[in-house]
Amino acid sequence: MSSEWGRFFKISIFGESHGAGIGVTIQGAPAGIPIDQEALFQFMSRRAPGKDKTSTPRKESDLPETLSGIFQGHTTGTPISALIRNQDTRSKDYGELAHTARPGHADYTGFLRYGGFQDFRGGGHFSGRLTAPLCYAGGIAKQILASRNIWVGAHVAQIAGIPDLPFDPVGLDQETLLKPGKSGFPVLAPAAEDKMREAIENARISQDSVGGIVECAALGFPGGVGSPMFDGIENRAASILFGIPAVKGVEFGAGFQAAYLKGSQNNDPFTVVNDKILSKTNHAGGILGGISTGMPVLARVAFKPTPSISQPQETVDFMEKKEKELIIKGRHDPCVVVRAVPVVEGAFAVALLDCLLEAEGYNHF
Ligand SMILES: Cc1cc2nc3c(=O)[nH]c(=O)nc-3n(C[C@H](O)[C@H](O)[C@H](O)COP(=O)(O)O)c2cc1C
C-alpha cells in the first residue's frame, strides 16, 4: 500500500495538499507511554512553513487534532489518529497543472498512474505537505523511544555544497545530538548557517532552488536489533526515508565513501570499555548484517533542489501532447532541506521503533 508503512509501529497517511485536510493513523504504539502534546506540537512546528525566507510563504499552523489513542496524557494502545486541516490554500495557482507537467515534479507521473483522477492542486498527495502527518507519527515515535532512553536527532549536513560539522560517529553525546533541533536553523556550526542562508536567498532571488543533505543519528539504540538480508535496519530505514518527497539518496555510516576505503581503513576495530563491547571507529553507522551493533546509528539523506522554480521552463501539455513554456505560480520553498530535518528525524524514529518493537517481541522467545 503506497501510503502505509511499518509492521509493528504501522502508520497510514492520508490527504491532499489542497483538500480538506491531511492526517495519519498509527497502530502498534504500546499502551501507557506518556505523550507530551506540547513537545509534539513544538517538534511539528519545526517543519511548518512560512517562518522565514528559506521556506514557502504559505502559512499553515499545522496544529494537529488528536482524534484517538491518547487519553489522560498516555497512549491507550489502540490506534492513534490525527487530523490537520488545510487552511492557506490558493488552488487557482494550480489550474494549469491538470495538464502541464512541472519538470522535476510528479504531475506527469501522477497523471500516468491515476489517469487524470488525481488531485493535482498543490501537488495533491505528492506534496511536501504530507510530511506534516509523517512528522506527527515521528514525534510520537520519538517520545516512545525516549521513554526507553533512545534519542534521535538530525541536522543540516550540507546545503548547496556548504557543509556543517558532521556528527561524531563514535563520541556523539546526547546534548550535541539534540542541540540543532532547538534552533530555527538546525546546524552544529553557527558559521555554516549564515553561508547556507545566503545560498538559499541567492537561489530565491534568481528564481531557482538548491538541495542538500540531512544527517540523522540515534543514541542508546541497543545492539542485536534488526535482521539479515531484506529486513535489516538499513532496508527499513531507507524504505521510509525514500517516502519523503525530494529524497534522492540514503546512506548509512561511511556510505558511498566506504567504496573508496581499504578494508583496513573501513573495518571498525572492536574493543571492550567498562565491560561493554564497542568499536573504536564507526564506519558501519551502527549496523552490521542489518543488525544494530549498539554504537550510534547514523544515516544521511540527500534532497534534490525544489522542483517548482519560478523561472520559465520547457515542458509539455500532456493532454494535447504539445511542447510549451511553463512559468510556475504558487508559493514554493527555495530549499526544502531545513524544513525536512524534523521529517527525517521523525521517519528515522518510526523505522527504529518498528525494528525495536519487533525485537522486543522476539527477544521473549
Ligand atoms: C518539507 C518539504 C517541502 C517541499 N516543498 C516543495 C515546494 O514548495 N515545491 C515543490 O515543488 N516541491 C516541494 N517539495 C518536493 C516535492 O514534493 C517532490 O519533489 C515531488 O513530490 C516529487 O517527488 P520526488 O522528488 O520524490 O520524485 C517539498 C518536499 C519536502 C520534504
User: What pLDDT score does 365 carry?
Assistant: 44
Residue 93 has pLDDT above 80, yes or no: no
Atom of ligand 1 nearest to the CA of 245: 26
Least confident of 28-42, 75-89, 295-309, 339-353: 75-89
Cell of 129: 505537505
Please provide the average confidence, as pLDDT, over all residues in the chain. 94
Q: Does residue 173 contact residue 63 with C-beta atoms inside 8 Å?
A: no
Q: Convert the pLDDT of each residue in 264-283 to its tens digit.
A: 999 999 999 999 999 999 99
Distance, in Å, from the CA atom of 276 to the CA atom of 269, rounded to the nearest integer, reads 14
Angle among Cα 61, 63, 66 to the nearest 5 degrees reads 170
Beta carbon of 243 within 6 Å of any ligand 1 atom: no
Distance, in Å, from the CA atom of 200 to the CA atom of 306, rounded to the nearest integer, reads 11
Q: How far is the CA of 316 from the centre of ligand 1 (A)?
A: 20
User: For the packed helices 131-146 and 37-45, what is the interaxial angle rounded to 10 degrees?
Assistant: 130
Q: Convert the pLDDT of each residue in 37-60 to its tens digit.
A: 999 999 999 998 767 777 666 566
Q: How far is the CA of 190 from the centre of ligand 1 (A)?
A: 27
pLDDT band at residue 92, thresholds of 50, 70 and 90? Answer: low
User: What pLDDT score does 57 carry?
Assistant: 61
Least confident of 80-84, 330-334, 357-361: 330-334
Q: Does residue 125 contact residue 113 with C-beta atoms inside 8 Å?
A: no
User: What pLDDT score does 67 carry?
Assistant: 97
What is the CB-side half-sphere exposure of residue 120 using CA atoms within 13 A? 24
What average pLDDT does this structure show over 287-297?
98
Q: What are phi and psi of 4, to 5 degrees?
A: -120, 140
Q: How far is the CA of 90 from the centre of ligand 1 (A)?
A: 17
Sole residue written with cell 546526547: 174
Distance, in Å, from the CA atom of 101 to the CA atom of 140, rounded to the nearest integer, reads 36
Q: Convert the pLDDT of each residue in 104-152 to its tens digit.
A: 999 999 999 999 999 998 889 999 999 999 999 999 999 999 999 999 9
Mutate to test the pocket of ligand 1, among 47, 130, 306 (most ligand atoms within 8 A of CB): 306
Beta carbon of 94 within 6 Å of any ligand 1 atom: no
Q: How far is the CA of 167 from the centre of ligand 1 (A)?
A: 26
- Structural domains in the chain plus CATH codes: 4-362 (3.60.150.10)
What average pLDDT does this structure show over 284-312?
97
Going by their DSSP bridges, the two strands 65-68 and 80-85 should be labelled as antiparallel
pLDDT band at residue 96, thresholds of 50, 70 and 90? Answer: confident
User: What pLDDT score does 97 carry?
Assistant: 77
Distance, in Å, from the CA atom of 221 to the CA atom of 224, rounded to the nearest integer, reads 9
Sole residue written with cell 501510503: 3
Residue 28 has pLDDT above 50, yes or no: yes
User: What pLDDT score does 192 carry?
Assistant: 97
Angle among Cα 355, 358, 362 to the nearest 5 degrees reads 135
Question: Which residue's CA is minimally distant from atom 12 of ligand 1?
Answer: 306
pLDDT band at residue 158, thresholds of 50, 70 and 90? Answer: very high
Beta bridge partners of 48: none
Mutate to test the pocket of ligand 1, among 60, 97, 105 (most ligand atoms within 8 A of CB): 105
